[in-house]
């Protein structure tokens, strides 16, 4: 509570209203002391002015730390000062806007900045010995083969684990995809790759999840969570994410609901059951989508809270390619 109160006091001190009050008081106090024409009043006025000076100094220091400041370029040295002024003003505006977002505890990286943002988050957590080095991640998996090509991301996971951290990741897939032979091969290869670097892996079926759990995000310790509202393509020319530094525990709780409902590691149990059945079918060359659906439904019923009654879906699933 103390920290919150101190932060509120500093914000009030740095506000325009506080500046106006301090300025008006700085004018009125000497005037009132002069009208009183007494030594005691003069001494009180001097003491009050000293307090005002200290408040103004504190306000200046707060503003200096809070505001984004730029070194002003010499516009006249540019080939086209007018053109340069327009471009630099727009860039400054964008930077200030993003700085304001950070003050509020979040950031929206551009699509092309997403890989760099992930690397920064993993590197900072890896190097911070005082932090909780635990990553909780979900992935709405549509293209496992693409995820295997993101070597830098996998390397960042490996470095975190080697530094003493841990990574728990749940791949969220649809029934249609899990019952498709080519997708099944790719997702099992992706899972094996993650396991080889020390990642704890689980599986969830998107069709069985409430909307609040079918989300794509990564939680970094107790410090940050990045949420993908729109997944990036292979070139990172599209995609939309938000990085949160506040209320991170909300995302950790959501992950807990996905990973350990009823204190049972449902995500890992689902994966184990599915992987065992799918691997046998791959090895024997007798892929059966219907059998996949039956296995998934049975595994879900065995390790999770009872789902609402439903019949097995009967999508137009392709048999093995």
pLDDT number for residue 31: 56
pLDDT number for residue 308: 42
SS3 (DSSP) at 63: helix
**Burial status of residue 78 (CB atoms within 10 A of its CB: 0-12, 13-18, 19 or more):** middle
Alpha helices, DSSP H, located in 37-174: 39-66, 81-103, 114-127, 144-148, 151-162
pLDDT number for residue 1: 37
- The closest of 234, 158, 145, 245 to 196, measured between CA atoms, is 158
- The closest of 251, 233, 231 to 241, measured between CA atoms, is 231
pLDDT number for residue 146: 87
Helix (H) or strand (E) holding 250: helix 248-259
pLDDT number for residue 3: 40
Compute the CA torsion angle 184, 114, 238, 209 (nearest 10 deg): 40
Both tokens assigned to 31: 């005037």
pLDDT number for residue 89: 83
- pTM over cut 0.75: no
Beta strands in the chain (DSSP E): 106-107, 134-140, 166-173, 200-205, 217-220, 224-230, 240-244
- Residue ranges of the chain with pLDDT lower than 50? 1-6, 306-321
pLDDT number for residue 202: 95
pLDDT number for residue 303: 61
| CA gap 271, 249 in Å, rounded | 26
| CA gap 201, 269 in Å, rounded | 10
CA-based diameter of the chain, in Å? Answer: 104
Compute the CA torsion angle 8, 13, 14, 20 (nearest 10 deg): 140
pLDDT number for residue 28: 60
């Amino acid at each position: 509570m103390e920290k919150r109160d101190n932060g509120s006091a500093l914000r009030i001190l740095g506000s325009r209203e506080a500046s106006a009050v301090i300025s008006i008081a700085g004018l009125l106090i000497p005037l009132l002391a002069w009208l009183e024409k007494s030594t005691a009043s003069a001494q009180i006025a001097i003491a009050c002015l000293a307090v005002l000076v200290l408040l103004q100094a504190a306000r200046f220091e707060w503003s200096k730390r809070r505001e984004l400041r730029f070194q002003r370029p010499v516009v006249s040295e540019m080939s086209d000062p007018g053109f340069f002024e327009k471009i630099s003003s727009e860039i400054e505006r964008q930077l200030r806007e993003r700085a304001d977002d950070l003050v509020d505890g979040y950031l929206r990286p551009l699509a092309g900045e997403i890989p760099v943002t992930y690397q920064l988050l993993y590197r900072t957590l890896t190097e911070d010995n005082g932090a909780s080095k635990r990553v909780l991640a979900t992935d709405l998996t549509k293209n496992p083969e693409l995820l295997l090509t993101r070597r830098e991301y996998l390397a960042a996971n490996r470095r975190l684990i080697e530094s003493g951290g841990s990574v728990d990741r749940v791949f969220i897939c649809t029934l249609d995809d899990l019952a498709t032979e080519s997708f099944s091969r790719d997702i099992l290869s992706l899972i094996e790759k993650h396991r080889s670097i020390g990642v704890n892996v689980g599986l969830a079926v998107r069709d069985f999840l409430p909307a609040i759990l079918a989300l794509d995000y990564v939680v970094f310790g107790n410090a940050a969570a990045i949420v993908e509202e729109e997944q990036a393509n292979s070139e990172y020319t599209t995609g939309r994410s938000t990085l949160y530094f506040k209320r991170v525990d909300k995302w950790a709780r959501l992950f807990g609901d996905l990973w350990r409902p009823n204190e049972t590691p449902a995500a890992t149990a689902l994966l184990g059951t599915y992987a065992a059945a799918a691997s046998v079918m791959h090895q024997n060359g007798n892929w059966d989508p219907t059998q996949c659906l039956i296995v998934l439904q049975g595994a879900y019923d065995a390790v999770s809270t009872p789902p609402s009654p439903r019949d097995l879906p009967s999508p137009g699933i392709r048999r093995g390619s």
